[in-house]
Amino acid sequence: MASGFAPPKLADFLLTERLGSGTYATVYKAYRKGDSREVVAVKVVSKKSLNKTSMENLLTEIEILKAVRHPHIVQLKDFQWDSENIYLILEWCSGGDLSRFIRSRRILPERVARRFLQQIACALKFLHERNISHLDLKPQNILLSGNVLKLADFGFAQYMSPWDEQSVLRGSPLYMAPEMVCRRQYDARVDLWSVGVILYEALFGRAPFASRSYAELEEKIRSNKPIELPAGARVSRNCRDLLLRLLERDPEVRLTFQHFFSHPFVDLEHMPSAESLGKAKALVVQAVKKDQDGERAAALSLYCSSLEHFVPAIYHETDRQRKEALRQKVSQYASRAEELKALVASENRISFEEAKSATDILREMSRDQPRLLAALDVSSAAIAKEEAGMEDYDTLDLYQQSLGELLLALAAEPQGRRRELLHGEIKSLMTRAEYLKEHIKMRETQTDVSLDRESMAESVRASCCLQ
């Protein structure tokens, strides 16, 4: 490599500031010569520093990056070489890496961490479908371009079928899965552990195995003690569930890729994208039609579903005027949904009152069925919590618990009056649970809409300018 601090010469590019360096490579900011003055990042790899293994890794990196095109993966534009170096010309990402972004804020709000996680998951889904494992996922290898995350540095990446296993040590110890650190056989699931560490660090400002020395780090990794969230951690139930399932030491028990991509916290269905607005509009058209036809409950459900796509659409929109127009539309639909919610609640109250006497009769007829009575006790607890204003996921869980038991009882119940009452009870509880679910969704959507009007996309761009 060129001696001193002067960057090497490249025919078509002017290399300027050094962005970072590792064992084998140094990355520079560069400009394409000529009229376009396109900005790129150039990864310069010294041939002298390459052994047989690192040369194979470099060739695999080039092969993979040439084959993939994805909005959340850094694009390889070209590669060149001369007598001293190999040059990878890569897409320029102006916002630095995720590690710097997290450090500048200490911790990220859950909603921001979730948006970032959705983009990482989207890229991993694309790679997983092509049997590609990154094997070195960490915040330093995830770059920001505006409000878009992009996976970078595929120096350790490999083509790995789901049944392929390896034992070669790859990546950074702080983000390595225990099976890799302990030099056991491992497979593509090591990437899921790394995602869990990244999410943990984004939410709490440090990795779960943060240590003062490598010996301490290795001791923590080799321990059989389950990962715990920091004391007093305030994260949603879905977020907690995902974190603990990703950070499962035993890869056989760890969340699978399929379950990761479909997990409700990842929620790729509602990831901000170019399709978000189209999905929202299609649902709101149906909502308005049901509203006009007087089908209030159906209209409320459709308004809520449309808002779940409108919020990501606002996030995805980059034009300020269109973003503001979308916010106003969303406020209108949210207001109408609130009106419908009050009307539906009033209608439900009458039918719920009627259901109470039927529940009392069902209880009386079920004295010989302790499991059925226990399920009815759980549903009563859910109703009491809801009526006391505790309209949250804990209450919804109680409804779902009782419904699970009652449906099993219904399947075993012979024809007769008790079966009819049980069927009616289940219908009533399902209506309650569905209404509560819509209410929770509505509240979460309103929270998203009413957050600081300066969207996260704009705050990311501002932070990039400061870095």
Return the active site residues: 136
Contact 380, 363 (CB under 8 A): no
> Which residues does residue 397 pair with via DSSP β-bridges, in sequence order?
none
- Is 43 one of the annotated binding-site residues? yes
Encoded amino acid at 69, one letter? R
Q: In whole angstroms, what is the distance from residue 343 CA to residue 261 CA?
A: 37
Tell me the chain's radius of gyration from C-alpha atoms. Answer: 27
Q: Left if phi > 0, otherwise alpha if psi is -120 to 50, otherwise beta: which for 263?
A: beta
Contact 160, 167 (CB under 8 A): no
Contact 117, 78 (CB under 8 A): no
Which candidate, 338, 340, 341, places its Cα nearest to that of 449? 338
Residue 330 CB contacts under 8 Å (≥ 6 apart), including other chains: 307, 310, 311, 314, 449
Residue whose pair of structure tokens reads 């379950």 in the numeric block = 259
Contact 337, 304 (CB under 8 A): yes
Q: Which residues sit in the known binding site for ATP?
A: 43
Q: Which residues sit in the known binding site?
A: 43
